[in-house]
C-alpha cells in the first residue's frame, strides 16, 4: 500500500515502548474534539404565556348571570360542571340514571330537581349493564305513562353507549369523539371506577382524569357531567348524626372527587327496607327541594309492583317518620351479646354496622354502651385467644358475654 503509514498509537496517544514520545492527554482530547465536534445547542421556542381572560370584580358585578347555562335546579349544575351521584352497589344507580335521563329528555323534573331551560339531551356511557338490562330499564318510559310526543322526545334526546374496554385517557378521548357525533347537554359516566383507570385513592390520578382530562371536554362541548360512583365496600360508619358536609365525603376514594364536583348527591338506604334518603350534600340550597325553606333530604323508594323498575317518591311525612332512627339504648346492644359463648368486639362492630341488622349503631356508641353494660354487670369481659396460621395461640382478643368467666 502506498502513502504514509499512520501509527495508531501516534494517532491517539500511548506507548509502544520504543523510546519515542507520543501526544499527551491534552492533545488526545483535542484530536477527539476535532473528530467529534459538540452539537450546536438548539434554542427551543418558549411557550406562549397563558393570557388573562378574566375581568375585575367590579366589571363582573355589572354583568348579568347567564341562566341559559343552568342545567339543573337553581344553578345546581351548569354547563362545564360535574355532579357526583353516590350510592352503595346494587341499590338502583343504573335505574336512577335511566329514569333521570328519560324525564329530563322531555322537560320533566327528575327526583324533585327541575330543568329550568327545558328538555335536556343525555349521552349515557356505561360499563355494567348489557343490552337486555338497558332494554328492561327503558320500560320506565311506559311506567311513567309518557305521551306519544314525550316518547318522541326521549327518542331524540337520549343515547346509551356500552363501553367496557377503555380507561383513562383512552376513555376520555372516546368521550370527546362521542360528543362530536352526539352533542349532549349531559354526559353520564356510569360508574366512575370503571373508567378512571387507577387506584381510586390516588389524588394525582383523580385530579388528572377530572381536571386535566374531563374539564376541557365539558368546556369545549358546553355540557355538564353526571358521574355515578360507589360508596366504600365496607361501610360501618355511624351516620345518624351526619350533616350534609359529612355526606360530601361519603364516596369511595380521595377527597379530590368532592373538591372537583360542583354538586354532590348521595343515595343512602334507610333502616326501613326499601326506603332511601336522597341527600343534597353539596350546593344543596340550589337543588330546589322544599317550598318555603331549603330541604336537603327527600325520600324515595323502589316501586313495589313486581317486575317494575322505577323510583317513586315517598310522602314527606311518612319519610320523616320512617327515616328517623329509633333511639338505641344499652339494652338494645345487650340483645346481641351471647349469654354464655363470648363474642369478639370486632364481631359486635360488624353486626351493629349492618343497617339491616338487629341493632344498627356506630362503633363509638357500641364502645360507650359496652362500658355501661360492664359497669352494670350485665356483661363481662372474656379474653379470647387468637390463633395464627400455624395454630399457635397469640395475644388474646376482647370478648363479651352475659355470664362471667
Amino acid 9: pLDDT: 47
Cα distance between residue 239 and residue 353, in whole Å: 10
CA distances from 353 to 53, 235, 271, 333, 366 (A): 51, 7, 12, 12, 10
Amino acid 397: pLDDT: 79
Q: Say yes or no: 296 and 337 in one domain.
A: no
Any domain includes 89: yes
Name the nearest CA neighbour of 12 among 21, 22, 20.
22
Amino acid 44: pLDDT: 78
Range of the domain at 86: 69-323
Q: What is the pLDDT along the chain (405 residues), one digit of tens a residue?
A: 445 544 544 444 444 455 555 556 777 777 777 777 777 777 778 888 999 999 999 999 999 999 999 999 999 999 999 999 999 988 999 999 999 999 999 999 999 999 999 999 999 999 999 999 999 999 999 999 999 999 999 999 999 999 999 999 999 999 999 999 999 999 999 999 999 999 999 999 999 999 999 999 999 999 999 999 998 865 556 676 677 778 888 888 878 999 999 999 999 988 777 889 999 999 998 999 977 667 888 999 999 898 899 999 998 776 766 555 555 788 888 888 888 888 888 888 888 877 666 777 778 888 888 999 989 889 999 888 765 545 555 556 788 988 888
Q: In what order do the strands lie in the sheet with 263-269?
A: 158-162, 122-126, 186-190, 224-230, 82-87, 263-269, 275-282, 297-302, 311-313
Residue 212's domain is classified under what CATH number? 3.40.50.300
Any domain includes 192: yes
> Which of 267-302 are b and which e, b meaning 16 or more Cβ less than 10 Å from the residue's Cβ?
bbebebeebbbbbbbbbbebbbbeeeeebbbbbbbb
Amino acid 47: pLDDT: 86
Place of cell 366512575: 192
Any domain includes 340: yes
Any domain includes 59: no
Q: Say yes or no: 97 and 123 in one domain.
A: yes
Q: Say yes or no: 160 and 273 in one domain.
A: yes
Residue 373's domain is classified under what CATH number? 1.10.10
| Spatial contact of 277 and 270, defined as CB atoms under 8 Å apart | yes
CA distances from 290 to 15, 312, 320 (A): 97, 17, 14
**Per-residue pLDDT tens over the stretch 310-325:** 999 998 776 766 555 5
User: What does DSSP assign to residue 390?
Assistant: T
| Spatial contact of 143 and 108, defined as CB atoms under 8 Å apart | no
Rounded-to-5 percentages of helix, strand, coil across the chain? 35, 20, 45
Q: Please, which residues have CB within 8 angstroms of residue 316's CB and are 6 or more apart in sequence?
A: 298, 299
Any domain includes 293: yes
Any domain includes 96: yes
| Spatial contact of 256 and 200, defined as CB atoms under 8 Å apart | no
Tally of structural domains, the chain: 3
Amino acid 38: pLDDT: 74
Any domain includes 45: no
Domain boundary among 307, 323, 339: 323
Amino acid 11: pLDDT: 47
Amino acid 21: pLDDT: 58
Cα distance between residue 152 and residue 106, in whole Å: 9
Amino acid 12: pLDDT: 46
Amino acid at each position: 500500500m502506498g502513502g504514509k503509514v499512520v501509527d495508531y498509537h501516534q494517532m491517539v496517544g500511548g506507548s509502544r515502548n520504543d523510546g519515542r514520545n507520543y501526544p499527551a492527554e491534552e492533545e488526545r482530547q483535542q484530536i477527539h474534539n476535532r473528530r467529534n465536534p459538540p452539537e450546536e445547542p438548539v434554542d427551543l421556542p418558549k411557550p406562549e404565556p397563558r393570557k388573562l381572560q378574566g375581568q375585575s370584580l367590579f366589571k363582573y358585578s355589572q354583568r348579568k348571570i347567564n341562566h341559559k347555562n343552568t342545567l339543573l335546579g337553581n344553578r345546581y349544575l351548569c354547563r362545564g360542571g360535574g355532579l357526583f351521584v353516590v350510592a352503595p352497589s346494587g341499590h338502583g344507580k343504573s335505574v336512577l340514571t335511566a329514569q333521570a335521563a328519560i324525564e329530563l329528555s322531555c322537560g320533566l323534573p327528575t327526583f324533585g330537581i327541575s330543568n329550568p331551560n327545558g328538555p335536556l339531551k343525555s349521552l349515557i356511557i356505561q360499563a355494567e349493564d348489557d343490552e337486555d338490562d338497558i332494554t328492561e330499564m327503558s320500560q320506565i318510559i311506559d311506567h311513567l305513562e309518557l305521551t306519544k310526543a314525550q316518547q318522541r322526545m326521549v327518542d331524540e334526546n337520549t343515547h346509551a353507549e356500552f363501553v367496557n374496554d377503555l380507561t383513562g385517557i383512552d376513555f376520555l378521548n372516546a368521550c370527546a369523539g362521542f360528543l362530536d357525533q352526539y352533542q349532549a347537554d349531559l354526559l353520564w359516566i356510569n360508574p366512575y371506577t370503571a373508567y378512571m383507570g387507577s387506584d381510586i385513592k390516588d389524588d394525582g390520578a383523580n385530579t388528572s382524569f377530572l381536571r386535566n382530562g374531563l374539564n376541557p371536554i365539558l368546556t369545549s362541548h358546553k355540557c355538564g357531567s353526571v358521574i355515578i360512583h360507589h360508596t366504600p365496600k365496607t361501610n360501618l360508619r355511624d351516620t345518624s348524626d351526619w350533616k350534609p358536609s359529612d355526606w360530601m365525603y361519603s364516596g369511595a376514594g380521595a377527597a379530590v372527587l368532592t373538591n372537583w364536583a360542583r354538586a354532590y348527591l348521595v343515595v343512602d338506604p334507610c333502616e326501613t327496607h326499601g326506603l332511601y334518603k336522597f341527600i343534597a350534600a353539596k350546593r344543596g340550597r340550589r337543588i330546589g327541594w322544599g317550598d318555603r325553606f331549603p330541604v336537603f333530604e327527600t325520600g324515595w323508594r323502589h316501586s313495589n309492583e313486581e317486575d317494575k323498575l322505577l323510583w317513586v317518591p315517598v310522602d314527606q311525612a311518612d319519610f320523616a317518620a320512617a327515616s328517623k332512627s329509633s333511639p338505641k339504648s344499652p339494652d338494645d346492644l345487650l340483645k346481641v351479646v351471647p349469654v354464655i359463648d363470648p363474642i369478639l368486639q370486632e364481631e359486635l362492630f360488624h353486626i351493629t354496622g349492618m343497617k339491616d341488622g338487629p341493632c344498627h349503631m356506630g362503633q363509638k356508641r357500641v364502645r360507650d354502651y359496652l362500658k355501661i353494660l360492664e359497669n352494670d354487670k350485665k356483661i363481662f369481659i372474656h379474653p379470647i385467644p387468637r390463633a395464627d396460621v400455624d395454630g399457635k395461640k397469640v395475644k388474646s382478643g376482647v370478648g363479651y358475654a352475659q355470664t362471667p368467666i
